[in-house]
Structures are given as structure tokens and as C-alpha cells.
Structure 1
Amino acid sequence: MSSGLVDVHAHLLPDFYVQQATAAGHAHPDGMGGWPSWSVTAHLDLMDRNGIETAMLSISSPGVHFGDDKTARLLARRVNEYAAELTRDHPGRFGNFVSLPLPDVDGTLEEIPWAFDELGADGVALMTHTHGMYLGDERLDPVFAELDRRRAVVFLHPTSPVCWERSSLGRPRPMVEYVFDTARTVTDLVMAGTLTRHPNMRVIVPHCGGTIPVLADRINEFMKLLLPLQQPPTTDAVQQLRGLYYDMAGTAFPRQVPALLKLVDPDRVLFGSDYCWTPAPLADAHIAAIDAAESPVDGTTWRSLTTVNATRLFPGRRP
């Protein structure tokens, strides 16, 4: 019997997207050896094998904007319509975090109503930056104002940082650079006041928050030093970080989740597989480690706890 798990960090990879990204110069995305294989059948097999009821699909890095606004708008629309079709064809099994053609703000403000009102999107997926525009950039405020108005779920996903040519030291960027770029853009959102200006968004931070749990107090201290006279005062950085959601994708145990729980309450933790970018055997092993770990809440398992947390975010997808 299904546990009802809701996977908030799951990726689709249709052939047309891979072809277009490869043609744009991403034959080895983020320094990886190549593109993983993905199919609906293989994804459902992984879900059934691991008791995952619903996977919220999103496009991973490098996103949909390869340098041209018009092309990015068309690709975002095609990807979003494809994912919406999957959710209709497989009721209850898939949800959809739509792609947006950032940094094209005008195109993004056109895609958001289409995605939610016509395609029934469950949320949006935002890269940590697009062409160097990190998420605290004031030019993005109209986008966040609209997402706030819609009380949208905003799923963040890392990409290669702007300095990757030197900082990655020739290694694949998902290994280390992803977790630091996650911390970079979340810190930017906090320092810019974006989260306090738009408190109705529900933001999901991937990979147990990256390095955020161990940097939270440092960020808070610097925020007080740099913004001592702000009026009205911005909410304490740790308080802002405690108000976000965090998925367990990747190596959640034995060290990342314990660190995360020093920052947030258990009701802010969600399940994530990171399939198909995490190969199926490794995703199976990560899920087995979650199942073997003790839940921080008496009378629950990590499966039941994260499912309850997810159904608060997506009440229409209760198992």
C-alpha cells in the first residue's frame, strides 16, 4: 500500500528539452558527463518501488533561458504544457512546478497567469540565478509580488554559479557549487527583504538548505551589522529562514537533516528524491536511509511526517 509520499524535488527531462539545451551549448550540463535518461514509465516504476504517491515535476538546471528571451518564452511554454499533460494523463501521480523564462521579467509575468489559470500549476521552479541575476535583485520584485498575490509555492533549484569556471576546480558543479549557490540566493532573498515584503509565498529550499543551516547565525549577525537602521526593521534572518520549507533530496543522512533540525521545526521538512538527476539506484538508497532514520516527532515516521507537511502545501493532492 502506498505511503502517500509527495516528492517535491523530482525532474522531468523530455527529449525536446534535452535537444534544445544541447544545441545551446549544454552537452555536459553543469559539468556532468551528459544528460541522464528519463521516461514517464521509468519514473513511475521508481515511484511505485519506493511508495511515492505523487511527484512534483520541474525542469532542473540549466533551466529554459539560454540567452534569447523569445526562445526562452517558447521553451518555457512547451515544457509547462508538456508537464500539465502528464498530470492530466496520470491523475494523482504527477504535479507541476512550472518553468519561467527569467531573467525576462515581462515574459515571466505573462507565463505566470497562463501557468496557474490555464495549466493548473502547483507552483513555480526558480533557478538560484539566471545569467547572474540572483533572486534578491530588485528587478524581480514584480515577479515576487505576483507570486505573493497568488500565495504560490516557489521551489528553488541550484545552478552553476557565475564564477564556476574558477570555483568548481574542474569538478561537476552539483557536488559542492550547488549547495553554495543555494545559500547565496537564499541569503540574497533575506538581505533584500524579499521574503518579508512577500510573506504569502511558500518557498521550498532544496538539499536540506545546502549550507544555510550552518551559516544561519553568521548571516543573521552580518545582517544586523549591515542593516542596523532599516525602517521598518527587517525580520531577523534566522526567523526568515525558519519560515521556509526544506526538502531532503540528496544525502540527507547521517549529517544534513540533523543540522537542518537545529534551524527549523520538523513541520518544515519535505521529501525529495532528485530523480532523474539522482540515478535510480542512488535514489533508492537515499530513500532507504530516510526510512531507516528515526523521526523527530513521536508516533511518526519520516514518510508520514513529510506527507502531512506536503499536504498542507498542496491540499488538493491529499492521498
Structure 2
Amino acid sequence: MTDPARVDVHQHLIPPERSRAMADRATALGWPAPAWDKPSAIAMMDRRSIATGVLSYPAPLAAPDDPAGARAGARSVNEYTAELVKDRPDRFGHFAMVDFPYDTARTALHMALNGVPSRYPRIKVILPHAGGFLPYAAHRFAIAAHLHPGTTPESLLTELRRFYFDTAISAGPAALPSLLAFAAPGHVLYGSDFPMLPEEWGTGFDTGLDEYPHWEDGQLHAAVNRGNAELLIPRLTQT
């Protein structure tokens, strides 16, 4: 049974002034051009039992050699999103935009090898798309600890398990068991990747979550779909 109050920690928005550039970027990659506006986002959320979407902008804001443009773009997107959240705090949250694109698994491994998660425990990092290749290959990556003085495979795995993971495009029958076998309890959160993933494509992953046969009692509805996000973002806690 679908949870009627999901918190979606991997949902995007596209401000109107950036819609053409985003469509052109998608077309160049052979991907469907994403369409976004507030009413259609809320309608999608209602259809998919999402109470609140935590929004972020899904693409680089400027060329790599244009830091000033990236800063200006980030400010513009953040101000637009802040107004949207102020208008509908019941339906939207907001991750502030910084212009820092990265490869998920590579960056997470680099951070873990350098002890970043344990040195800065108040910084909570959510890795998108179930951490990419990371959960599947974590024990293989742990071998790299032997090449890093002062690090052991066990300590590296502990660092990697400090990350959080969302389920966007990752609730398939192969990826989901790997994620759940690796992630620490309480560290898996629901994500849709709307509108970058068209709704008609994403609902299959929702079904994969709902129909996965090996959930422990309360693990999906009380934790993955909502409770784990509430612990990270207390404002979203239901009273």
C-alpha cells in the first residue's frame, strides 16, 4: 500500500527563465525535455502520494570557466525557490543551490578516504540515485584503504555508511537489495527525480518500492517514505 505522506528528497524545479535552456540541454542528450510549474508539480505529488517535495535545481548553472556566472545563477535560483517554499511550506522544502557538479561514487569515496563524514558529523550528505555504483562496490572500494596510511577497510566502510542515500531511479529488483544491504539503518530516503525523470517512467520505481517483498515492519512507510527525512529536516515532522 502506498504511503499517503511521502517526503521526496530528490525533486527538482525549473524556474521559468531557465526552462528553454534546460529543454535544449535535455534535447542535446536525447532525453525528454522536462516541463515544470508549481501546479503540475503539486498535481504529480498528489497522484504519487508525496506530501512534500524538497526541491533542488538539476543542472550546472554556468560553464566551468565562469564562476561569477555560476554564483549569480545560484543566487537567482535560490531566491526563486525560497519564494516558492514561503508560499507553500506545506508542500515544498528547498536544498540551496551551489554550483558543484560531481560524480557521486567517486566523490563519496574521496570524502570517505579523507575522513570527511566523521570529521564533520553535522553535515549530512544525501547521495542521489542510491549512491550510484557505491553500495554494490563498497567492499571492493574498501581495498583502497590499504593504499591510504592510517585507514583500514573497516574504517572506510564505516565512513561510507555515514552517507544517506535516496531511491530516485533506484528501486529496481537488483539495485534496491544492494542499497538496503549496505546503507546504515535510517539512511535511505524516498526520491522521485521529477521532472527530470518523466512521471510515467518514475511510477514504476514507486511500485518497486511498494512491492519489494523483504521490508521489515515499518521500514518502508514509517522510515524510507517519511520518517528518515523528518530526522534530517525536522521542519517536515508531522504533528
What is the TM-score when the length of structure 1 is the normalising length?
A: 0.68
Alignment gaps of 5+ in structure 1: 103-126, 129-180
Say whether 1:255 aligns with 2:164.
no
Alignment match, 1:9 = 10
Alignment match, 2:61 = 64
Say whether 1:226 aligns with 2:178.
no
Q: Deviations over 1:28-52 (max 9, x none)?
A: 4772346311111111111001110
Greater relative contact order structure (CA < 8 Å, 6+ sep): 2
Compared CA separation, residues 245 and 91, structure 1 to 2 (3 A): same
Shift in Å, 1:295: 5.3
- 1:38 pairs with one of 36, 39, 47: 36
- 1:87 pairs with one of 85, 89, 106: 85
Superposed CA RMSD in Å reads: 2.4
Alignment match, 1:302 = 220
Equivalent pair of 1:213/1:263 in contact (CA under 8 Å): yes
1:98 match: secondary structure: coil
Equivalent pair of 1:3/1:303 in contact (CA under 8 Å): no
Compared CA separation, residues 85 and 19, structure 1 to 2 (3 A): same
Alignment match, 2:73 = 75
Compared CA separation, residues 34 and 293, structure 1 to 2 (3 A): closer
Equivalent pair of 1:64/1:99 in contact (CA under 8 Å): no
C-alpha separation in 1, matches of 2:69 and 2:192: 30
Shift in Å, 1:288: 2.0
Compared CA separation, residues 80 and 295, structure 1 to 2 (3 A): farther
C-alpha separation in 2, matches of 1:190 and 1:30: 34
Compared CA separation, residues 316 and 30, structure 1 to 2 (3 A): farther
Alignment match, 1:281 = 200
Q: Deviations over 1:180-223 (max 9, x none)?
A: x3111111111233223222211101111111112111211111
C-alpha separation in 2, matches of 1:43 and 1:286: 18
What is the TM-score when the length of structure 2 is the normalising length?
A: 0.89
Q: Deviations over 1:4-62 (max 9, x none)?
A: 2100000101221234567xxx634772346311111111111001110100000112x
Alignment match, 1:208 = 130
Alignment match, 1:138 = none
Compared CA separation, residues 239 and 85, structure 1 to 2 (3 A): same
Q: Give the alignment of 1:104-143 within 5 angstroms.
A: 127-128=101-102
C-alpha separation in 1, matches of 2:129 and 2:99: 23
2:14 match: secondary structure: coil
Equivalent pair of 2:171/2:206 in contact (CA under 8 Å): no
Equivalent pair of 1:266/1:296 in contact (CA under 8 Å): no
C-alpha separation in 1, matches of 2:154 and 2:28: 34
Alignment match, 1:18 = 19
1:27 match: secondary structure: helix
Alignment match, 1:270 = 189
Compared CA separation, residues 239 and 189, structure 1 to 2 (3 A): same
Alignment gaps of 5+ in structure 2: none
Q: Which amino acid aligns with 1:44?
A: I
Equivalent pair of 2:19/2:35 in contact (CA under 8 Å): no
Compared CA separation, residues 276 and 20, structure 1 to 2 (3 A): closer
Shift in Å, 1:235: 7.7
